[in-house]
Structure 1
C-alpha cells in the first residue's frame, strides 16, 4: 500500500494511492498516525480509505509523505565512497556510519529546490529511505526487520563547497546538507517490496537519476554494504529509534551524485546544478520524484572568526 500527504484547496490531507488517485484517511489521520499505529493497523486504515472518493493526483501538490521525528543518513555504497574520496578507508567497513540531517527542511516530490546561500557546487544524491514503524532500543537486525514500516525515495541535496569546508574541521556534514531533502512521492509499505528481496536479504531495486532528461546515474539498491534492518539496528544501538524515524541508505554508486563523477573524472563534469536544471529520480517499486533547481536567497558572506587574542 502507498501512503501520501498532499496539499489542495489550502488544506493538507493524508491518504492512500490507487490507480484512481488519492483517497483520504478517515478521521483526519496523518501518515505519521498510521505509521505509529503499526503496519497491520495502517493497512486496515488504508483499506477503509479506499472507499472514499478519489482525488486526481495532478490536481494536488504532493508533500513529503510524513513529518519524521528524526532523519538519519547513512553512507552504505562502497562505490560512492571510492568515487568521492578516491579510496575507502578501513573504518568504513567496520560499521554503517551516519549523520543526522534536518527534519525541518523536507520538500515534496515536485517542489522547486533553491540553491543554498553561498553555494557554487550544488549536487543531488540518489537514495532510498526506510521508515521505522515501531519504537525500539538496541534491536538485533532480526528484530529490526519487524520494525520497518516502509520505504520512500530520498534526495539528499548537497552544497558540496560548504560541506567540504566544514568537514575539514572534523565535524559535519552539517550546513552543507541543511537546506533541502526530497522525500516522496509516497511511502510504500514493506510488504509491497518483499518480492524484490534477493538471496542475500537485500532489496534489488533499480535506481536511476536524470538531469534535464539525460541519464547521469544508475545502480541497484542491493549494492548496499548493509541491508536496511542492519541500519535500523545500528541506529538503535545503545539508544532508541521511534515510529516515523527516517533512515537514508546513503548515495548509490555509478553516478548517484555529481561529486562521485567529479572524483572519478578529476574535473567538474557534469557541472554543478544551476537554476533551471531538473533532477528526476526513479526507484523501481516506489515511483518518481522530479524537482527543479531555482535561485536561492542572496545573503552577505559569513563573517570569519575573531582570532584568539594573545
Structure 2
C-alpha cells in the first residue's frame, strides 16, 4: 500500500488528511472519509463513525503507524468498502511531508558516494570508523517539505545541493534490537532529499559537533510511503535525479556498508526507535550535484525518483530567503587559528 498526507480545505481551515495512493488509477483516497462512509454503511451512527475514523486516521502519520497492524487493516478495509466514494484526482491534491517523524536521522552508508564526495572537497579518504559502526546524524523535524512544496533557498548559502536518499520509516517501538527484530519494525520506504548547503558544511563540520545550518533548512519527504510488502528487493531499487526536466543522475541502491535492518538495529542500541521515525539510507552513488560537478540555483525544480516508490519534486524559491540576523565572529582566544576542516 502507498500512504501519504495531503492538505484539504474545510470550514475550520486547512486540515491534514491521511490518504491511500493509487498512482495507476491516478487518484488518492481520503482514508478518514472512506472509513466513515463504510462504517455508516454497517449501521454505525454518523457521530460514532466520525469518532472511529478520527481514531484510526489522525492528521499524524506517525500516530497512525503507532496503532500497529490495525492501521493498515483499517485502511485496506476503508479502501475496499468506500474507496470510490472518497477518492480525489491525484493531480489536484496539495501534498505535505509524507510523515511527521518524531526523530529524523540520516545515515552515511554508500561507499562510492563517500569516495566521490571526499575527492571533490579534497578531504582525503572517508573515515574508517564508518566501516566499523554505522554513521548518522539527527536533523530538525521542523523543516520537512512534501511533494510539490516550495523549498526556501537559504540566503546564507551560495551552494545548495540535493541528496537522493531512501527514507526508512519505522513502524514500531524498539530498543537494543537485533537486525532481524529491526527488520520486523521497518514499516515502509519513502524518498528523502537531504538538502545541503555545501559552502556552509565545511566550516561547520570542522567544529566537530555535526551538521547544523548546512542541513537544517530543508528535508524533502515524499511523495508518499510505500509499505514493505511492495518492496521485493531493496538492493535492486533504482534511482534518478532530474533538474528542470533534465536527467542529471541514474543510480542504484546497492553496495550499502550496513543493511537497512542493521542500520535500524544500531540506532536502537541504548536508544528507542519510535513509530514514524525516519532514517535516511545515506546518499546513493552520484546522488548529489557535487559529485557530478553541477550546482543548483534559485528557482530550480528538483525531481528525485526511486523505483517502486515514486517521484518527489520540489522547487527552490526564486529568491533567497535572508534571515534578519547572522552572528559576527568573535576574537579567537587560543593563539593562531587552525585551518578549517573539509566537509564530510
Runs of 4 or more off by more than 6 Å in structure 1?
Answer: none
Partner of 2:216: 178
Q: 1:276 aligns with which of 299, 313, 317?
A: 299
Q: 1: CA distance between counterparts of 2:208 and 2:26?
A: 50
Q: Is the 8 A contact 1:77 1:224 kept in 2?
A: yes
TM-score, length-normalised on structure 2?
Answer: 0.82
After TM superposition, the structure 1 = structure 2 runs for residues 1-310 of structure 1, keeping only pairs within 5 Å, are 1-9=1-9, 10-18=14-22, 19-26=25-32, 27-28=53-54, 29-30=57-58, 31-38=61-68, 40-50=69-79, 51-52=82-83, 53-86=86-119, 87-193=125-231, 195=232, 197=233, 202-253=234-285, 255-261=286-292, 269-270=293-294, 272-294=295-317, 295-299=319-323, 300-308=325-333
Q: Structure 1 residues 291-300 or 147-156, which shifts more? A: 291-300
From the CA coordinates, give the structure whose radius of gyration is larger.
Answer: 2
TM-score, length-normalised on structure 1?
Answer: 0.90
Q: 2: CA distance between counterparts of 1:89 and 1:242?
A: 29
Cα displacement (A) at 1:259: 2.0
Q: 1: CA distance between counterparts of 2:30 and 2:322?
A: 39
Q: 1: CA distance between counterparts of 2:203 and 2:214?
A: 9
Aligned to 2:313, the other structure's residue is in SS state strand
Cα displacement (A) at 1:301: 4.2
Q: Is the 8 A contact 1:24 1:49 kept in 2?
A: no
Q: 1: CA distance between counterparts of 2:133 and 2:18?
A: 36
Q: 2: CA distance between counterparts of 1:108 and 1:37?
A: 23
Aligned to 1:72, the other structure's residue is in SS state strand
Q: 2: CA distance between counterparts of 1:61 and 1:203?
A: 31
Q: Structure 1 residues 217-226 or 114-123, which shifts more? A: 217-226
Aligned to 2:88, the other structure's residue is in SS state coil
Q: Is the 8 A contact 2:106 2:279 kept in 1?
A: yes
The number of equivalent residue pairs is 294
Q: 1: CA distance between counterparts of 2:200 and 2:27?
A: 40
Q: Is the 8 A contact 1:8 1:59 kept in 2?
A: no
Q: 2: CA distance between counterparts of 1:228 and 1:248?
A: 9
Q: Which is richer in strand?
A: 1
Q: 2: CA distance between counterparts of 1:187 and 1:92?
A: 28
Measured on the aligned residues, the alpha-carbon RMSD in Å equals: 1.7
Task: Please give the per-residue CA displacement for 1:116-155, whole angstroms capped at 9, x wherever unaligned.
Answer: 1210111000000111111010100011000111110000
Cα displacement (A) at 1:309: 9.8
Q: 2: CA distance between counterparts of 1:14 and 1:123?
A: 30
Q: 2: CA distance between counterparts of 1:260 and 1:81?
A: 10
Cα displacement (A) at 1:218: 1.9
Cα displacement (A) at 1:308: 4.1
Cα displacement (A) at 1:90: 2.0
Task: Please give the per-residue CA displacement for 1:47-82, whole angstroms capped at 9, x wherever unaligned.
Answer: 123124201122211111121100000001101100
Task: Please give the per-residue CA displacement for 1:142-185, whole angstroms capped at 9, x wherever unaligned.
Answer: 11000111110000000111111101111211210010000000
Q: 2: CA distance between counterparts of 1:23 and 1:58?
A: 13
Aligned to 1:153, the other structure's residue is in SS state strand
Structure 1 residue ranges without an equivalent (≥5): 262-268
Q: 2: CA distance between counterparts of 1:228 and 1:160?
A: 26
